[in-house]
């Protein structure tokens, strides 16, 4: 007999069996898809803390161990041995590329890195202080209008093209918007440069002048993008899959995902970390803010700490810490912010409040410091996250398309509002009659 879990309803002593499904790694799951049919009840799981919403073979996280695998490859190994584009290829094509494949992939991304010039007019519609994440959300939704007609979204070749286009165009859109806001001349992609270097080039270059991009800067940004490439069913990826389940345009799914990522509990945390470090200001103030973070009556939280899944050091944060130290040595980072960050980490890793709740630094704790060292404007930090996460979102969307029996995502609720208190019950027929009078 297959492994099952038995649920007993103590109100009527009835029992129901539910199958246990085993994955390749990680906790088994109880298949409760027949729960409502069998028992007339739903489950209640705020924030889906105990719910698997899909089958996936892309990314695996062991939150207790602090392990992250993409298609079976450990993130620390990938960060040490591969570049961002290898991981993009791995996520989209389900295997690491050989040299020839990587070269062809690079060329394909370069060719697709330009955007239709009509899209530049979109930037004029935004107020001067528009947040880049809101702009990016609008841009990606707009991009769907250029790739809607005559597309067959059921053809894997076509959706691979959509994925590559998205990854290729995001740096161009991000850099163009930055130049637009600053009033600087737009810089077009340089096809002789690599993916990551080209982004820094579009951000920094001016006509007839030399642009200084150090190899360590390219490496730092490239690794940072790689570390953000996918993270299984987090809030934004779940958003992408949820919108995808309605058969919406893939770019509309990505635009929704950007909206989810923007929040400071998710991808917006890297911006909040820097703002918080600047607010704390000096090492002497750290104790005061640690006390605030521990106070149950104070909503203040230490940004860059804690994670829904990791109950150990986030493996991405470990890689970023090494990178941050390398950057300090080679180009220098605002040393006061580093001092404040180090002191916070030192206290948090030894304080019982943080230890007992498994609150370790997450990927955002150091990413903000690295991006600041690269002179990326603070408001664009989450945009860097989007550039890194886009291949993961598209891989998840493509997986959804490949799977049979995908159901529209439609959770239920525990209704706690008033019962029917309508003074005179009006049925559909009555409405029709009354409106005819
Ligand atoms: N500072 C202080 N206390 C915290 C923090 C924090 N950063 N994070 C969690 N806690 C405390 C909570 O108050 C709670 O305490 P309690 O048990 O006494 O009530 C306990 O730890 C558990 O916290 P939850 O909010 O229930 O944990 P959850 O898994 O729902 O939230 C989250 C995870 C949102 C990341 C949370 O830790 C947080 O807000 N962190 C700060 C924001 C941040 O860095 N976000 C980036 C996450 S990584 C990413 O998205 C890329």
**pLDDT tens figures, 155-187:** 889 999 999 999 999 999 999 999 999 999 999
Return the percentage of the chain with pLDDT > 70, whole number. Answer: 97
Q: What is the pLDDT of residue 129?
A: 86
H or E element in which residue 17 lies: strand 14-21
Look up the pTM and report it: 0.92
**What is the predicted pLDDT for the residue at 208?**
87
With a cut of 90, say whether residue 308 has pLDDT above it.
Answer: no
Domain boundaries, the chain: 4-52
Beta-bridged to residue 29, according to DSSP, are: 21
Per-position DSSP letters for 128-192, written without gaps between them: TT--HHHHHHHHHHHHHHHT-TT--TT-HHHHHHHHHHHHHHHHHHHHHHHHHHHTPPP----TT
Whole-angstrom Cα distance, residue 94 to residue 106? 17
The three-class DSSP label of residue 30 is strand
357 neighbors 306 (Cβ within 8 angstroms): yes
State the catalytic residues.
307, 364
Ligand 1 contact via 363 beta carbon (within 6 Å): yes
pLDDT of 435 over the 70 cut = no
pLDDT in tens, 138-154: 999 999 999 987 777 77
**Domain 4-52 falls in which CATH fold?**
Rubrerythrin, domain 2 (2.20.28)
Is the model's pLDDT at 360 over the cut of 70? yes
Residue 282 CA to ligand 1 center (angstroms) comes to 24
- Percent pLDDT > 90 in the chain is 81
First to last CA, the chain: 64
Ligand 1 pocket test, pick from 306, 308, 344 with the greatest ligand atom count within 8 Å of Cβ, gives 306
Average pLDDT over residues 126-143: 95
Which residue has a Cα nearest atom 39 of ligand 1? 265
Confidence of residue 354 (pLDDT cuts 50, 70, 90): very high
Q: Whose CA is nearest to atom 47 of ligand 1?
A: 266
Average pLDDT over residues 80-96: 98
CB-ligand 1 contact for 269 (6 Å cutoff): yes
Q: Which residue has the higher pLDDT, 105 or 332?
A: 105
Alpha-carbon gap, residue 126 to 139, rounded angstroms:
11
Closest residue by Cα to atom 34, ligand 1, is 265
Q: Which atom of ligand 1 is nearest to the CA of 362?
A: 48
pLDDT over threshold 70, residue 265:
yes
Q: What is the predicted pLDDT for the residue at 285? A: 96
- Whole-number pLDDT of residue 42: 97
Residue 331's pLDDT band (cuts 50, 70, 90): confident
Nearest-atom number in ligand 1 for the CA of 305 is 7
The predicted structure's pLDDT at residue 327: 87
E strand or H helix that includes residue 342:
helix 335-348
């Amino acid at each position: 007999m297959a492994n099952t879990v038995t649920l007993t309803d103590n109100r009527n002593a009835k029992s129901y069996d539910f199958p246990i499904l085993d994955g390749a790694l990680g906790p088994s799951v109880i298949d409760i898809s027949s729960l409502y049919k069998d028992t007339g009840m739903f489950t209640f799981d705020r924030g889906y803390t105990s719910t698997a919403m899909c089958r996936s073979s892309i990314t695996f996280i062991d939150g207790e161990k602090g392990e992250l695998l993409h298609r079976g490859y450990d993130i620390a190994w990938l960060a040490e041995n591969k570049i961002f584009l290898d991981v993009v290829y791995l996520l989209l094509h389900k295997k690491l590329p050989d040299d020839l494949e990587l070269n062809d992939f690079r060329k394909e991304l370069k060719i697709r890195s330009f955007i239709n010039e009509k899209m530049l007019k979109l930037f004029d519609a935004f107020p001067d202080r528009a947040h880049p994440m809101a702009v990016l959300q609008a841009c990606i939704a707009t991009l769907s209008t250029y790739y809607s007609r005559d597309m067959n979204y059921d053809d894997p070749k076509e959706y691979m093209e959509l994925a590559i286009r998205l990854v290729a165009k995001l740096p161009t859109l991000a850099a163009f918007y930055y130049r637009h806001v600053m009033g600087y001349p737009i810089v077009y992609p340089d096809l002789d440069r690599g993916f990551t270097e080209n982004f820094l080039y579009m951000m920094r270059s001016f006509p007839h002048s030399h642009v200084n991009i150090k190899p360590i800067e390219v490496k730092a940004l490239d690794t940072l993008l790689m570390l953000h490439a996918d993270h299984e069913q987090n809030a934004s990826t779940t958003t992408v899959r949820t919108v995808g389940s309605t058969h919406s345009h893939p770019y509309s799914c990505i635009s929704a995902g950007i909206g989810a990522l923007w929040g400071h509990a998710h991808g917006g945390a890297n911006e909040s970390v820097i703002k918080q470090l600047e607010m704390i200001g000096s090492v002497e103030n750290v104790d005061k803010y640690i006390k605030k973070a521990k106070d149950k009556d104070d909503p203040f939280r230490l940004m860059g700490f804690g994670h829904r899944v990791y109950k150990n050091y986030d493996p991405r944060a470990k890689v970023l810490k090494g990178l941050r130290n390398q950057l300090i040595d080679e180009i220098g980072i605002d040393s006061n912010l580093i001092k404040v960050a180090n002191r916070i980490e030192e206290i948090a890793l030894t304080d019982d409040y943080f230890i007992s709740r498994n609150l370790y630094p997450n990927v955002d704790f150091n990413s903000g410091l690295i991006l600041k060292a690269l002179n990326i404007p603070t408001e664009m930090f989450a945009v860097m996250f989007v550039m890194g996460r886009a291949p993961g979102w598209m891989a998840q969307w493509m997986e959804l398309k490949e799977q049979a029996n995908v159901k529209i995502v439609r959770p239920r609720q525990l209704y706690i509002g008033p019962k029917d208190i309508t003074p005179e019950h009006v049925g559909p027929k009555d409405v029709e009659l009354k409106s005819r009078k």
